[in-house]
Amino acid sequence: MFTGTLSFDVLLGDVHSLKEKRAVVRPVVAELRRKLAVTAAEVGALDLYRRAEIGVAIVAADARHCREVLDAAERLVAARPEIELLSARHALYSSSDEPLLSVDHGEVAASGASEPTTAP
Predicted confidence (pLDDT) per residue in 95-110, tens digit: 887 654 444 444 444 4
Query: What is the amino acid identity at position 13?
Result: G
Predicted confidence (pLDDT) per residue in 54-79, tens digit: 999 999 998 899 999 999 999 999 99
Domain edges within the chain = 2-118
Q: Does domain 2-118 have CATH number 3.30.70.1120?
A: yes
CA distance 61 to 29: 24
- pTM (two decimals): 0.76
Q: Which of 2-11, 49-58, 78-87, 106-115 shows the lowest per-residue confidence on average (mean pLDDT)?
A: 106-115
- Other Cβ atoms less than 10 A from the Cβ of 118: the count is 8
DSSP characters for the chain?
Answer: -EEEEEEEEEEESS--SHHHHHHHHHHHHHHHHHHH--EEEEEE-TT-SSEEEEEEEEEESSHHHHHHHHHHHHHHHHT-TTEEEEEEEEEEEETTSPPSEEEEEEEE-TTSSEEEEE--
Q: Which of 29-33, 36-40, 115-119 shows the lowest per-residue confidence on average (mean pLDDT)?
A: 115-119
